[in-house]
Amino acid sequence: MSEKINITLKVWRQNRGEEGRFEVYQAQDIDTDASFLEMMDIVNEGLTLAGKEPIAFEHDCREGICGCCGALVNGKTHGSHEQTTLCQLHMRKFKNNEQIVVEPFRAHAFTVIKDLIVDRSGLDAIIREGGYVSVKTGSAPEASTTPIKKELAEAAMDAAECIGCGACVAACPNGAAMLFTAAKVSQYALLPQGHPERTQRVKNMVAKMDELGFGNCSNEYECAVACPKGIDVKNIARLNREFIKASLVK
C-alpha cells in the first residue's frame, strides 16, 4: 500500500553559458508509488501555477529505454540504484522529510543546456563515426544464412542494450566514454556483418571520442556500476584489442 511523503528538493538551476546555483523546493504529499520524474512533474505544476519557471529536465519514453532522463540524485547517477534509470526510480526509495539534491550530469564533454539538461550530442557524434553497418544487404536474408555462435550473438545483444544515457561518462572520474564506445564497437565486432568495416570503425570512433574531450579510461569501473543496462567492462577490453589490431593495419 502506497504512502504519502514530503520531500525537500535542492535543484541545480542554470542557463547555458551562465553561472548556476541551487534552489530549494518543497514536494508535498508525494505518493511513494510515483516515479522520480512524476514527482518532478508535480513540483513543476506547482511552480507553473505560482507563475515561476519550471525545472527543465529531459525525458521521453519513461520506460528505461530511451536514455534521456539522466541526472545526479544525491551525487549519484540515476540515484545509483542497480540497473535503474531515473524514470524507473520510485519515491518509495526515499524517506519522509528527506532532502534530495538533484544536479545535471557532470563531465567535461557534457555542457549544461538548461537546469538538468546537458548536451550529450558528443555520444551521437561517436556513433556517426562507425556505429552502424553500411553494407547494402537488400531484403532480409534467411536467419540461417550466416551461422553465428550462440555465445557471440548473446554477447553482441548484451552490448547492444546500451541506451546512450551518458551515466558511464558522468560516473567516470575522468569523464571517459569508453564503456559507451566499447559497447557500440563490440556489438558489431562480435558479428560477421560488422567485420568488413571493423578496422576503420574503431579507429574513427576512438579518434572522435578523443577529439570531443572525453577523458581516458583508468580502470576505475565506476562506469559499469552506474550503467542502467549492466554493460560489462569486458567490452572495454574488447575495444582495446580491436583498436590495437586496427592500428597495425595501414
Q: What is the CATH number of the domain that holds 82?
A: 3.10.20.30
Q: Is residue 197 part of a domain?
A: yes
At residue 1, the pLDDT reads 66
At residue 249, the pLDDT reads 82
Contact between residue 59 and residue 87 where contact means Cβ atoms under 8 Å apart:
yes
Contact between residue 22 and residue 49 where contact means Cβ atoms under 8 Å apart:
no
Judge if 135 and 236 occupy the same domain: yes
**Domain count along the chain:** 2
Q: Is residue 114 part of a domain?
A: no
What are the strands, taking DSSP E only, across 81-203? 98-103, 112-114, 117-118
Helix, strand, or coil here: 62?
Answer: coil
Judge if 13 and 44 occupy the same domain: yes
Percent pLDDT > 70 in the chain is: 97
Find the Cα–Cα–Cα–Cα dihedral 232, 197, 144, 156, rounded to 10°: 10
Q: How far apart are CA 179 and CA 172, in angstroms?
A: 10
Q: Is the pLDDT of residue 250 over 80?
A: no
Judge if 130 and 239 occupy the same domain: yes
Q: How far apart are CA 79 and CA 67, in angstroms?
A: 14
Contact between residue 212 and residue 159 where contact means Cβ atoms under 8 Å apart:
no
Q: What is the pLDDT of residues 101-151, one digit of tens each?
A: 999 999 999 999 999 999 999 999 999 999 988 866 677 777 678 888 999
Q: What does each C-alpha distance from 92 to 6, 68, 104, 111, 148 come to in angstroms?
A: 11, 22, 22, 31, 44
Contact between residue 27 and residue 96 where contact means Cβ atoms under 8 Å apart:
no
Judge if 131 and 204 occupy the same domain: yes
Judge if 77 and 156 occupy the same domain: no
Q: Is residue 134 part of a domain?
A: yes
Q: Is residue 113 part of a domain?
A: no
Q: What is the pLDDT of residues 5-19, one digit of tens each?
A: 999 999 999 999 999
Judge if 15 and 129 occupy the same domain: no
What CATH number is given to the structural domain containing 166?
1.10.1060.10
Q: Is the pLDDT of residue 82 over 90?
A: no
- Domain range for 38 is 4-103
Q: Provide the 8-state DSSP code for 115.
A: T
Q: What is the pLDDT of residues 27-41, one digit of tens each?
A: 999 999 999 999 999
Judge if 126 and 233 occupy the same domain: yes
Q: Is residue 55 part of a domain?
A: yes
At residue 112, the pLDDT reads 97
